[in-house]
Amino acid sequence: MNSKLHAVCDQAGRPIILRLSAGQVSDHKGAAMVLDALPAATHLIADRGYDSAWFRKALVDKEIEPCIPSSRSRKVPFAYDKNIYRQRHRVENLFAKLKDWRRIATRYDRCAHTFFSAICIAATIIFWINVS
């Protein structure tokens, strides 16, 4: 029993979108889960697990520039702005802050909805702390 958290954060590293999926689900399906909830933005920074042509096209259709490095298996890699990509540490910091909560890091909860509730409580506090 495992799960995967798909998160979107703003420039300050505050959580905006959180979606929980089964652990064996690919990041492509996680991208589809967050796509409709994306706010207006100029760029979306993601790791290479989210590299797919349909996701890039969907972002461009929403007038969001994708900053996603190409997967290693892609024969013709897409270009991306490496200076903007350096800001990806903010979402990694968000995950680190969530894992400061022992209940989340060790996954004490058996049910996904209870586990996600704990994530939402932690994310609310992280959002509130990062406001100032």
pLDDT tens across the length of the chain (132 residues): 688 999 999 999 999 999 999 989 888 898 999 999 999 999 999 999 999 999 999 999 999 999 999 999 899 999 999 999 999 999 999 999 999 999 999 988 889 999 999 999 999 999 998 765
CB 77 within 8 A of CB 92: no
Q: Which fold has domain 3-130?
A: Nucleotidyltransferase; domain 5 (3.30.420)
Please report the pLDDT score of residue 131 as a whole number. Answer: 64
Domain ranges of the chain: 3-130
Residue with tokens 């990041």: 27
CA angle 70, 75, 76 (to 5 degrees): 65
pTM for the structure as a whole: 0.87
Please report the pLDDT score of residue 1 as a whole number. Answer: 62
